[in-house]
């Protein structure tokens, strides 16, 4: 795959970027000013915190890597186990325009590692097989 040479440079430094992968909400707990959840409301509080648009941040190398792939004509799809619409996080991170297909388990009725989740993403991309690649993390 000579056309993809150089794209993995940023991705190869993944370990150096781990600290930027999650927002403070996920690293440090509830946001300042959040009320302590009632004993019966902890699930609702956790769900609200996890689904907030800024609760999930991409790794620092995500955008430049996806732009480099896009410049080389590579189409990008997501097959995700999210239990809510992850598009809100993509939009908040400015990555929506870099995703050609998005299949989410809560919409597809399938979970990883069910191959149908990935096959649907490939079908939505118009992939024909042979040179399709699956990676992890966003």
Model pTM above 0.75: no
Q: Where are the alpha helices (DSSP H) in the chain?
A: 8-11, 14-17, 24-28, 42-51, 62-71, 87-92, 105-108, 115-125
- 29: three-class secondary structure by DSSP: coil
Dist. CA 39–CA 67, nearest whole Å: 45
What is the residue extent of each domain of the chain? 16-51, 59-125
Residue range 78-118, pLDDT digits in tens: 988 888 888 998 999 999 999 999 999 989 888 888 889 88
Residue range 1-17, pLDDT digits in tens: 334 444 444 444 433 33
Q: Which fold has domain 59-125?
A: Rossmann fold (3.40.50)
The mean pLDDT value for 37-46 works out to: 74
């Amino acid at each position: 795959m000579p056309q993809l040479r150089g794209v993995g440079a940023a991705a190869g430094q993944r370990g150096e970027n781990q600290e930027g992968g999650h927002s403070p909400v996920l690293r440090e707990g509830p946001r300042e000013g959040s009320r302590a959840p009632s004993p019966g409301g902890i699930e609702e509080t956790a769900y609200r915190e996890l689904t907030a648009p800024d609760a999930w941040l991409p790794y620092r190398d995500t955008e430049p890597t996806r732009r480099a792939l896009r410049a080389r004509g590579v189409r990008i799809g997501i097959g995700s186990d999210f239990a809510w619409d992850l598009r809100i996080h993509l939009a908040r991170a400015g990555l929506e325009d870099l995703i050609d297909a998005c299949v989410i388990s809560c919409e597809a009725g399938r979970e990883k590692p069910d191959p149908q989740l990935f096959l649907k993403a490939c079908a939505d991309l118009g992939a024909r097989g042979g040179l399709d690649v699956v990676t992890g993390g966003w």
